[in-house]
Structure formats: C-alpha cells, structure tokens
Amino acid sequence: MPKINPFLWFETQAQEAANFYVSIFPNSKILQVTHYNEAGPGTPGSVMTVDFELDGQHITALNGGPEFKFNEAVSLYVGCTTQAEVDDYWAKLTAGGGEEGPCGWLKDKFGLSWQVDPAVLGEMLADPDRGKAQRVMAAMLQMKKIDIPTLERAYNQGG
C-alpha cells in the first residue's frame, strides 16, 4: 500500500518550522535534513528538505522559494480529547505570531493552517437528534478556539 504524507512548501523556513512543530507534539522527531548542492536550484549548502515525524505522521518540509504560499484550502488536523489539550495546542501553535481563526482553525507563525478540535465536537454534530446537533453547530460558529463546556451546554440545552 502506498503511504500518503504531507509535503509542505516553505520559502526558506523549512528547518525552523520542523523544529517548531517537533517541539509541540509528543513522539516527534527530525528524521533527515538534505541540502542543495551545486546543481541547484537553491544556494549550495542551504537546507533543501527536512523530513520529520509528528506523533508518528511523516511530513516533509521543502525550502522551495517564494513562488507558493499556504492557504486555508489545506490544513493539518489535531484531534484532542480534553479542553486542556485544545488549550495547549492552540496556545503553542499560535505562539510567536500565529493567528486565531474561526471554528477551531488557526494559522501558525509560518502561515500553515491547523484545525484543533476535540473529538466530542464531531460526536455532537453527528447526533441523530438534529436539535442538539444544530445547537452545537450554532455555538461552534461563534467560537475561535473550541470550548468544550460551551458546546456541552448547547448540546444539553432543552434536553
């Protein structure tokens, strides 16, 4: 079976970004760093790619130049089980210049989009009681960082 792994294009910050991400997630490490040589297209000796793992997920970061930028069409998803996890990952990923977005989305300081969501959100939204699911959706649409107690209040309201 083929393995499908994210491949992230940075202008020049691949190693800095990989080090940042590895510092946030458990069971993470830098696997390999390659450098441009005289054949180019980058400056010989500069970092070309960084292979790393985030909690077992293999990712490659490339220093490819200024041609392409990240946007919200692609994001990395962080599934959480507790509010403490949501709070921790949210704080770490927005540190140093990241931006909060709506409904559990954020951009880190490199411009990469992330979703930081608790599993309970998906469970509530999938509830066969459409009233509960609609109340949770309405509550979530008012949030930046997801707040589990607020979701639970919306879910149980009128129950």
Do 64 and 91 fall within a single domain? no
- Which residues form the domain of 98? 70-159
The pLDDT assigned to 1 comes to 72
The pLDDT assigned to 158 comes to 61
Distance of CA 156 to the CA centre of its chain: 29
- Residues in Cβ contact with 20 at an 8 Å cutoff, skipping those fewer than 6 apart: 108, 109, 110
Torsion angle (degrees, nearest 10) of CA 140, 106, 64, 5:
-50
The pLDDT assigned to 40 comes to 87
The domain boundary, picked from 13, 41, 68, lies at 68
Do 80 and 150 fall within a single domain? yes
Two tokens at 148?
């589990």
pLDDT tens figures, 69-109 = 999 999 999 999 999 999 999 999 999 999 999 999 999 99
The domain boundary, picked from 68, 88, 105, lies at 68
pLDDT tens figures, 110-152 = 999 999 999 999 999 999 999 999 999 999 999 999 999 999 9
- E strands of 1-159, at which residues? 7-10, 29-35, 47-54, 57-63, 75-80, 99-100, 105-107, 113-118
* Whole-prediction pTM: 0.93
Do 20 and 85 fall within a single domain? no
How many residues are listed for the chain in this entry?
Answer: 159
Residue 159 pLDDT > 60: no
Residue 44 pLDDT > 60: yes
What is the CATH number for 91? 3.10.180.10
Report CA torsion sign: 14, 20, 22, 24: negative
Contact 109, 98 (CB under 8 A): yes
